[in-house]
Amino acid sequence: MDISLYRTEVQNWIRTVYENRGVDTETTIKCCNELEEYGRKIKDDGLIGFACFSRGEAYYLTNEMREFYREMISCLPPLERAGEWGLVAQANNMLGIMSLNRGNAPFAMDYYIKAISICHQHHLLDFEWVVHMNIATLYLNIEEYQKAIHHANRGFEYLRGHEDMPGYAESLTVVYLDIAKAYLCIGEIGKAEEYLRKLKNECLEQIQETSKLPVYCLLARFCNLSHDEVHRDEMIQKIDEIGCHEVAIMDTFDDFYDYLNMLLEISRYKEFEHLLDEVEEITKKTTVKYLEQKLLTLRLLYYRKMERNDLYQKDAVHFFELSELLERENRMMITSMIMMRNSLNDLALINKEVERENQVLHRRSETDALTGMNNRFKLNDYADDAFENAYRKKTPLAVEILDIDYFKQYNDNYGHQAGDRCIKEVADIIKSLKAYGGIFCARYGGDEFVIVYEGYTEHEVLDMAAELKRRVEEKAINHAYSLVADQVTISQGICWGVPDDVARLFDYLHQADLMLYRVKEESRNGIRLGYINEETVLKEENNE
């Protein structure tokens, strides 16, 4: 969300929401209420959707799941209308977590797949990895352990190149945890131990105390399976000392549940009862009956082992009541899902109408008003396809960036109207190159232009660039204030090569810009065209 578009008071509300996430729920919700009220007043879907999403996120972190669910369902339509796709992906991801914790893996996968689809469509790589991690958790739940490892590794692939991102240690902890759990479940103890060692060496000292609880839970289970009772008991003591009052239970429930099962198996009843009471207290706050029922199952097993028939019979009745509530909750979830899909279908029809009405505006948004050329926004869209095509076909591609020599002096001395005419005349000459085919031209800003050549050899690109330079000079636009000639001239930087799988517009533009900078430095020698090929060999042509 571009907050600079709003007045100062609204910007301050948004900043306050960001600053207080997970810190001050009351302040966060108060600012969200102000934002929603203002958004509805000015009919701004972006503000309304952001307010609902952020309120839902605050409820999630405080384990108030009924309120969370209401807000997340509410935020989707306005966010989609506003095109805030990052928040739409996050909302679907969080609804997937909610569905999984309600015991409905198919619904969860539905939400996750939608989030992944949005990430692909809008190039949200910085969030897609998070969804893969949650899919890994889903597969752990349904005992598809190899698939869980696959998706956890997808998350790890992203993290490996982003060590400087905020919360890196916490994110890496989640990856290693999921992989270690999966290997533990399929009996590959050595592999599980490898990732537990990574957790201890790379993550444990860098994460918060409450974030260590899932790690300690898994370490206790591992030590138990390895018959290492000394270290197992150390972990049990640490977990008992920390407690789980401050955790987001939706993110950690499975860790505590598996750990409680272990405590029951090894007859550590004191620690079992203490932790179960804490987890039950937090879980009841979520109002998620599926989680309550799972914990109640553990309590019934405990009463049976302790031969407490009176308590067993009492809670067996409660178990039956929960089953009825759970059935009602599932029906509500199905109804909400159907309503959401229907609303999205309706929204899709509305969007088709809006899209038709906006086609002219869209074309304008991609066209430079002064020259009629494509602008930098159209350049970005075009370049993605051009680079993908060149990479797939292994064909050459060149990017040229050029500007008008001493244009500031021209503009300052001849006036802005003359400066605009000069830019238009140069632009018209550049646009004439499109007659060759496979050439894209755009005004990059000010007196800068970018040309993309598809499928041409180095010599062909240089010949066309030289022709362009000659035609600008033949125009003989007077420029008495230039230090390189008495008429308007241009300087050019070019990068040529066959793109690999990581090369993108920015890489080629950067190299072309370096060439342009060097050309400017050498302009006193008459050199105003420079290029670099894929072997990074600089070549220059003297155009005296």
Look at residue 329 in the predicted model and tell me its pLDDT.
54
Structural element, H or E, at residue 496: strand 490-497
Blockwise average pLDDT, block size 10, the chain, 544 residues = 75 89 88 91 91 93 85 92 93 90 82 91 90 92 90 91 88 93 91 93 88 92 93 92 80 90 92 91 81 83 84 72 58 48 46 47 63 84 84 91 93 91 95 90 90 93 93 94 92 90 75 84 60 49 40
CB 495 within 8 A of CB 486: no
Tokens of 43: 């009919």
- How far is 100 from 90, CA to CA, in rounded Å? 15
Return phi, psi of residue 181, to 5°: -60, -45
Look at residue 348 in the predicted model and tell me its pLDDT.
47
Look at residue 513 in the predicted model and tell me its pLDDT.
84
Would you say the C-alpha torsion 142, 144, 148, 151 has a positive or negative sign? negative
CB-neighbour burial class of residue 110 (10 A; exposed 0-12, middle 13-18, buried 19+): middle
Look at residue 386 in the predicted model and tell me its pLDDT.
87
Residue positions counted in the chain: 544
- How far is 82 from 52, CA to CA, in rounded Å? 13
Look at residue 328 in the predicted model and tell me its pLDDT.
57
Look at residue 250 in the predicted model and tell me its pLDDT.
80
Look at residue 10 in the predicted model and tell me its pLDDT.
86
The CA-atom distances, in angstroms, between 180 and each of 120, 140, 177, 194, 218 are: 28, 11, 5, 8, 8
**Mapping DSSP to helix (H, G, I), strand (E, B) and coil, where does residue 530 land?**
strand
Look at residue 359 in the predicted model and tell me its pLDDT.
47
